[in-house]
Structure 1
Amino acid sequence: MDARDPECWSWDPAIPLGRVADEFGWDLEDFTPRFHNRDEQALRIALAAWHGHRCAVCGFRDLRLLEDHDHDTGLTRGLLCRSCNGKEPHDNGLFRKYRERSPAQILGINLRYWDPWHGWAQPRAIDPNRLDNHPAYALAAKLGERLSMKG
C-alpha cells in the first residue's frame, strides 16, 4: 500500500483565474458566468488551468497530459502523465486514493470523456446487487455460478 497521497490533493482548490486569461485567452467576465452555468468548454479550461501542466498523481510537468476517465461512469477524472495513466488501472494504493478523490471531484466538475477515435464515453450498466462492477469480478461471479450449478 502506498502511503503517499496524489499530488493534486496538495494543490489550492481554487481555479487559477489568471491562468485562464493568460494561457487560454478567455476574458474573466466571459469565463466566470460560463463556468458557473456549467458550460462544457469553460469546465474543460478550468480543469486544464487548475492542473497547470502537472500530472494529478505524481506532479510531473508535461505539456501533453492525458485525460483520465472512469470507465464505469464515462466521466473525466483528471489529467495524468503517460506513466501514471498506464499505471492507474493496476494499482490499489496511490491510484486508489486518486480515484476516490479525483481533480474533477475536488473542483466539482462533471465532464463526459471524449475520445477522438471512439466519441463520447458511455457509462457501463451498473448492477446495484453487485458490490463491484469491475469486469474481473463479473467473470469471477460467472465462474462461481457455474461451479455452484455443478455441485
Structure 2
Amino acid sequence: MSEGEARNSFEGFMKAIGRAIDGPTTWFRKQVVEPNQKHYPWYHQKFRRVPTIDECYTDDAVCIFEANQQYRRDRLVDSEILTILRERFSDCVVYETPDHVEKCSGLFKEYEDAAGYWFTKYGDLGAYHDAQTAYMKQKHRMIWERRHGPVGSGMNGKKVDPDAQGD
C-alpha cells in the first residue's frame, strides 16, 4: 500500500473532502499569490532612523515615543553584539584551552572594549530607563569631562571655569 492510498472507504471519503476544500485554496496560493510576492528575509528589515530625543519638542508625544522605540532597538542590537562577542570569546577558550590566554587575547580585548562602551552608554540607568534618561547621562558625562578630565582618570585637582575665555 502506497502513502497516498486510503486504508478503508471512510478514510478515502475524508481525503476526498479534504482535497475538495483545500485544493482550490492551495492552487490559488501556489499559482497566484506566491509568484506575485516579493520575498525578503526577515533579518533584512530596515527601520528608518527617527529623530533622537534631543531633536523632539517637549510636547511632541509621537516624536518622543519614536525616539524611545529607536533607543530600545539600538540597545537590543548593542546587547546582541555584546552577546555574540562574549560567545566568540568563550568558544575560543573552550577550543584553545591550554593556550587560550595567548590565542584568545584579541577576542577578549575586543569584548572588553565593547562591554566598556556598552556600560558607558547603558550602564547605571536602572531597570526602567528611556532615551531621555540616557541622553541626560551623556550630558552629565560630557560636563564632568569638561570640568575634570576623562572619567576614570581621577579629579585633576584644578578647577576649570567653564565661563573662562581663552585657551
TM superposition score normalised by structure 2: 0.26
Task: Looking at secondary structure, tell me which structure has more strand per residue.
Answer: 1
Structure 1 or 2, whichever has the larger Rg, is: 2
Task: Looking at secondary structure, tell me which structure has more helix per residue.
Answer: 2
